[in-house]
Every structure is written in C-alpha cells, then in structure tokens.
Homo-oligomer: A and B are copies of this chain.
Amino acid sequence: MSGGGEFNFIRQRLRPLTRGHPAALDLMDDAAILTPRPGESLVLASDMLIETVHFLSSDAPEVMAARAFGANLSDLAAMGAEPAGYLMAISWPKSWSDAQRDGFVAGLNAAAGDIPLIGGDTTSADAPLSVSITMLGFVPEGAGLTRSAAQAGHDVWVSGTIGDAGLGLDIARGKLDKQEHLLSRYQYPAARTELGQALRGLASACIDISDGMVADAGHIASASGVAIELEAAMIPLSTPVLHWLEGEGDEGLKRLVSSGDDYELLFTAPHDQAAKVLALSGRHGCEISWVGRVAEGEGVSVIAAEGDAMSFQSGGFTHF
C-alpha cells in the first residue's frame, strides 16, 4: 500500500479487514506474502469495476463494495477454490466524503466475512470510483475447475435461480417496482463458494453467471469445443421473477437468460454423476436444477417450452 495521505486511512480503516492474517504484514509493506499448504495450488482472479459501468452512481458505497467483492469471489467459486484472502487496489473519487469511503469499507467488511484483506493500494483521482480486487484461493493441485472439459452427453446444471439480479438492477434504476428479494440479489451478490468446492471432481466444466446464463454457457461451449442445449422450461425462476414473467412472455424469458450478475454456478457433469449432483441440492444454501445437455457442435441454443429453438449468438438473438 502506498500514497502519502492514505496512510492513516489504511491503518485505521483497512487494517481491521486483515483479520490479523500474517500474509498481510499489517499492510505495512507494498506486497503480501502468502504460503500455500503443500500440494495446493493458488487460484487468482482479478476484476476491474468502474462506477457508471458496473455500479450505478446512485448505488450506496456499501452496495458498490458488496458488488465488487461478490463478483470476484464468484470467479473463485467457479474454479472450486477455497477463499484465502484478497488484495484491493482502489481509486476513490476526489468528490467522495469520508463517510462515503467509510461506507465502502463497511460494505467490504460485511461482504468479506472472515476472508482477510492482505494487501493492495489506494489512491484518489478526479475520476469515477475504480476498484480492482484480486481474490486468492486454494485448490488441491490439479483439482481446480475450468471451462474447458465439458463433453457431449454431459448434463448441464445451474444453482439457485436465474434473472433475479437483472430485474433487481431495473428496480435500482427506478424502472420496476421495488421487491426486496430482487433488489438484494443485485445489491448483495452471494458467491457460491461452498458449492464450488463441493463440485471438485464432480463437474467437468464450471462458470459463474456474470454476463448472463446464455453468454456464460457460451463461454463453456467455446472453451470446451461443444454445443450446449438449454431447456427453457427447466430454468429455475424465483417467485417474483415468475410473477414478472407472466406479463412478458417469450421476450421476457430471453431477457432473463441474458441478464447478468446472478453469480450462480452453471456447470456440466457426466450423466452418471447426476445422483451425486442432485444430492448436493439444498445442502449449500441453494437448489441445483438440471437445465440441459452438452452436445457435439458449437454455440448455445435454448429450446423453448413450445418446442421452438431460440439461438443466441454472441449476445444477440436469432429466432428460428
């Protein structure tokens, strides 16, 4: 950590977030030192979130922190890693008050739970808030989940429910009436870290839904060199989303499977592992739903309830 005027802030506000972890060196140095246990690999994910792009300027600082942390932690969950700590590099807007900075730190503190801050950097600029969190986790060597081992014939599964955060964003923007569940799915994303770890040795490919269910399934399809077919009727939806969908029809469903930020895990597994996958359902704070299958080919298709196939190509729709 560096930056003249920032030292008191680091000592008083950020040091408690280290939870006393030795890797942090009390935030007195410019780097952290972390020692993995023997036989373990380190998983590292680094995201960049910018006000106006990833946050609304009307989001409370606590919400910005929760969203930044959740997005990064979710990347780790998708690799099946056990969280070990994080570095945060942040540029505060010069216009922010002390109370806003404190709000951000409070949000980070709440989101991190017992995961220690071990290093980073703070600065300030005449620019929108810009925050990069590097999240670190451990996996047994060779056991990290990736996107590239899905095979034709495997099942496709998803945790939790889809589309809540997208509608939550609409609520935050004042475009939709407030519903607490949906808004909180947008504001306080919960990464599926326990489920991710439980999927080691079980899932063949895994990704977290940050860009949207179809786009993220497409990342697995592309990395694994396969096609993914999703069954629209099997996509798990929460009660408030089902209510919203009643007035929207087919276009509404397209909207849900294209909206990001749910931070659920979408994963593939060999068909003979289905019983084991189902046995995990409900155990880690979320249901797990079968949503489709892996096939030969490329791209993602969504088979509508009526039997039509909707094809989604790099973010755009082709209905045929």
Contact, CB under 8 Å: A44 / B134: yes
Residues facing B in A87-123 (CB within 8 A) are 87-91, 118-123
- Chain B residues lying within 8 Å of A127, measured Cβ to Cβ, are 50-52, 127-128, 130
Partner of A87, one of B35, B46, B147: B46
Residues facing B in A115-172 (CB within 8 A) are 118-128, 130, 132, 134-137, 139, 141, 144, 146-148
- Chain B residues lying within 8 Å of A31, measured Cβ to Cβ, are 43-45, 75-76, 78-79, 81, 135, 137, 144
Number of copies: 2
Contact, CB under 8 Å: A46 / B89: yes
The answer, yes or no, to whether A296 is at the interface (CB within 8 Å) is: no
Contact, CB under 8 Å: A42 / B35: yes
A4 to B222, CA, bound (A): 13
Distance to closest chain B CB from A5 (angstroms): 8
The answer, yes or no, to whether A233 is at the interface (CB within 8 Å) is: no
Partner of A90, one of B48, B118, B219: B48
Q: Which residue of chain B is the closest to A137 with respect to CB atoms? A: B31
Partner of A44, one of B3, B119, B211: B119
The answer to whether A146 and B208 touch (CB under 8 A), given A30-B45, A87-B44, A121-B46, is no
Contact with B along A222-237 (1 / 0, CB 8 A): 1100000000000000
- Chain B residues lying within 8 Å of A223, measured Cβ to Cβ, are 28-29
- Chain B residues lying within 8 Å of A207, measured Cβ to Cβ, are 30
The answer, yes or no, to whether A179 is at the interface (CB within 8 Å) is: no
The 7 closest A-B pairs by CB, nearest first: A132-B132, A48-B89, A31-B45, A30-B75, A46-B87, A130-B130, A89-B132
Interface residues of A (CB under 8 A from B): 2-4, 25, 28-36, 38, 40-54, 75-76, 78-79, 81, 87-91, 118-128, 130, 132, 134-137, 139, 141, 144, 146-148, 207-208, 210-211, 215, 219, 222-223, 314-315
